[in-house]
């Protein structure tokens, strides 16, 4: 099996004004194989989102080694990071983060617009993805015309738009009732099994974490394997 993520001794410090700095992640090691579905649990404030931002190349580690799908992130230039991110990672957030004045289909197309995918291909692929999440009948609805679960399914279709290696989901069911959360979780299982996506799920919900292949616990900036 090939490794899609390899991290060694990842440290993250935030500078909070001279001479103070705050160390949030204290030397994390993590290897994720292609096609795994893993979850990260842990108390609020333990460093999960900080870690996810580093995995997702939204932020850089202060020190340590990080290789993402064969790319050495630590050595990449700032100008290369957004390109790496767009190609390799799809993000799903607790608060959906859809563009309010764009309909479902336009939201799914957005990463492809950034990726300069031709219009015809964009339209076709966005409809395919909306079909995959069973939202094709809502393609022309604005986010405020959709329920929470429907918004999250559109957000998941958008995360798939650039055919990323990894889906990173930070509390994706945190704003949903348990029944709707179930639908979203089933969708992640399908993407993992049928589309062979590697999925990293951050969740407070231990029952959902138990359904994944591997559970890691963030404890005060240390990542522990169960």
- Name the residues that contact Mg ion, by CB under 5 A: 48-49
Q: Are strands 198-202 and 37-42 parallel, antiparallel or unpaired?
A: parallel
Residue with smallest beta-carbon separation from Mg ion: 49
Question: How would you class 130 by CB atoms within 10 Å of its CB: exposed for 0-12, middle for 13-18, buried for 19 or more?
Answer: buried
Q: Cα 128–133–134 angle (5° rounding)?
A: 90
Instruction: Compute the least distance from the CB of residue 182 to ligand ADP, in Å.
Output: 23
SS3 state at 205? coil
Q: Give the contact letters, 2-41, x = binds to ligand ADP (CB under 6 A), - = no.
A: ------------x-x-----x-x-----------------
Out of 30, 32, 36, 47, point to the residue binding ligand ADP (CB under 6 A). 47
Which phi and psi (to 5°) does residue 147 adopt?
A: -75, 170
Out of 2, 18, 20, 44, point to the residue binding ligand ADP (CB under 6 A). 44
Instruction: Compute the least distance from the CB of residue 35 to ligand ADP, in Å.
Output: 25
Instruction: Compute the least distance from the CB of residue 153 to ligand ADP, in Å.
Output: 23
Nearer to Mg ion, 49 or 203 (CB): 49
- Token pair recorded at residue 141: 């609805």
The rounded distance, in Å, linking the Cα atoms of 184 and 152 is: 7
Nearer to ligand ADP, 45 or 213 (CB): 45
With CB under 5 to 8 Å by kind, the binding choice for 1 among ligand ADP, Mg ion, none is none
- Residues at the contact surface with ligand ADP, assessed by CB under 6 A: 14, 16, 22, 24, 42, 44-50
């Amino acid at each position: 099996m090939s490794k899609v993520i390899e991290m060694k001794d990842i440290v993250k410090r935030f500078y909070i004004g001279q001479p103070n700095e705050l160390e949030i992640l204290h030397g994390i090691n993590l290897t994720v194989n292609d096609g795994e579905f893993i979850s990260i649990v842990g108390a609020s404030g333990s460093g999960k989102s900080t870690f996810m931002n580093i995995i997702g190349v939204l932020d850089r580690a202060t020190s340590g080694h990080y290789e993402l799908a064969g790319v050495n992130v630590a050595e990449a230039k700032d100008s290369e990071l957004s390109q790496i991110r767009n190609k390799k990672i799809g993000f799903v957030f607790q608060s959906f983060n859809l563009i309010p004045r764009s309909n479902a289909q336009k939201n799914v197309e957005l990463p492809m617009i950034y990726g300069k995918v031709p219009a015809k291909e964009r339209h076709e692929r966005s409809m395919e993805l909306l079909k995959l999440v069973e939202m094709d009948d809502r393609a022309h609805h604005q986010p405020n015309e959709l329920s929470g679960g429907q918004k999250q399914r559109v957000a998941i279709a958008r995360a798939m738009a650039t055919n990323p290696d990894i889906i990173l989901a930070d509390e994706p069911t945190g704003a949903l009732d348990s029944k709707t959360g179930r639908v979203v979780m089933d969708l992640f299982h399908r993407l993992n099994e049928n589309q062979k996506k590697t999925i990293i799920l951050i969740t407070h919900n231990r029952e959902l974490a138990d359904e994944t292949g591997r559970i890691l616990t963030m404890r005060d900036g240390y990542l522990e394997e169960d």
